[in-house]
Amino acid sequence: MSMPDPGVQQQLHHLYSHHHGWLKAWLRKKLSCQHTAADLAQDTFVRLIVADKTPLPEQARAYLTQIAKGLMIDLYRRHRLELAYQEWLLQLPPVDAPSPEQQAIALQSLIQLDNVLDQLPAKVRETFILSRFEQLTYSQIADQLGISVAAVRKYMLKATQACMEML
């Protein structure tokens, strides 16, 4: 990541110094956790820097709020995945439970897969989930979604390609 030009640096400094405290307080109210709020406030400004765009002064809070809301959604999705994975682990006999390192790798892979699937069109994502996680046949998926078997094949190819790119 290259350093922004001095004018952009000054704008970012102004945004941070005038809005960071407000954003952190807003997030603290939403999240009920000052530590998570502080992390997401910082992440919001990191996203702003990476995007290499600064909002107009009158749009600053709305822009920062929009970024922060997206980060909160990501946080909640990650927590849901973590909880589902932990529930699955609890169903395993202790001797079959993966090591902490294997658990961390599996959870990271699940999060990456979730991110990839989230980028896909809804029908493609749903087709992939029905096939891989619900174990439905292509004919069953076609019937359930009201599409042709050829469309199921096409959607599965698209979803599989997206997953392979992740690897």
Q: What tens digit of pLDDT does each residue of 118-162 get?
A: 899 999 999 999 999 899 999 999 999 999 999 999 999 999 999
Buried b (16+ CB within 10 A) or exposed e, 91-109: eeeeeeeeeeeeeeeebee
- Same domain assignment for residues 73 and 15: yes
Q: Are 151 and 124 in contact (CB under 8 A)?
A: no
Domain that holds residue 13: 6-79
Q: How many domains is the chain partitioned into structurally?
A: 2
Is residue 26 predicted with pLDDT exceeding 90? yes
User: Domain with 115 in it: what CATH number?
Assistant: 1.10.10.10
Do 72 and 110 share a domain, yes or no? no
Among 79, 110, 135, the domain-final residue is 79
Q: Is residue 88 part of a domain?
A: no
Categorize the per-residue pLDDT at 94 as very low, low, confident or very high, splitting at 50, 70 and 90.
Answer: confident
Residue 8 confidence (pLDDT): 77
Q: Are residues 31 and 69 in the same domain?
A: yes
